[in-house]
Amino acid sequence: MEIMDQTSLGYSFTAVCSPRQNISFEKRGPIMIPDRIQRTFSFEYDPDAGKAGRITVTLGEDKFTADLTPEQRKMGATFDRFGLLNPRKGGKYVDVYVDDLIYSSRKTKDKQKWHEQEIIKVPYPKWGRKYK
């Protein structure tokens, strides 16, 4: 998701799908007005919808969808990550706060285990945190 391109009303809320730069696409969604009103946000990916998968994004009452292309799926992309992106365009910035985050996920049956999960305990620094 990109929040970009300041307009006279607000910022464009844009879905970006990019398994590789030369076959990426952007789908512009609603204009996000910086009015300090809390909004709900959801992101859903359905690999079986459309011809090659579909993402559905909801911001407040506005919902928009974007269909992946067969070419993007042929590249072997799994689309198993989600992120918020700062595109660094135009020298402007946007403050976005995310709170009460709820997510669900599941591993595919052929998912490889990359490493053993372990917990590493690090003691609290004797002089406190470096940054406050």
- Residues 73-129: tens digit of each pLDDT: 777 666 666 676 666 666 666 677 777 777 777 666 776 667 777 888 888 777 776
Which positions ≥6 away from 98 have C-beta within 8 Å?
41, 84
At residue 1, the pLDDT reads: 65
pTM of the model: 0.60
**Domain locations in the chain as residue ranges:** 2-74
At residue 27, the pLDDT reads: 73
Residue with tokens 């372990």: 118
- The larger pLDDT score, comparing residue 7 to residue 99, is at 99
- Start-end of H helices in the chain: 70-74
- What would the two tokens of residue 41 be? 């946000």
Beta bridge partners of 85: 2
Q: Compute the average pLDDT of residues 5-29.
A: 72
Whether residue 132 is predicted with pLDDT greater than 60 in this model: the reply is: no
CA angle 80-116-113, nearest 5°?
Answer: 40
Alpha-carbon distance of 32 to 60, in angstroms, equals 10
Instruction: Identify whether the C-beta of residue 65 lies closer than 8 Å to the C-beta of residue 17.
Output: no
What value does the mean pLDDT of the chain take?
75
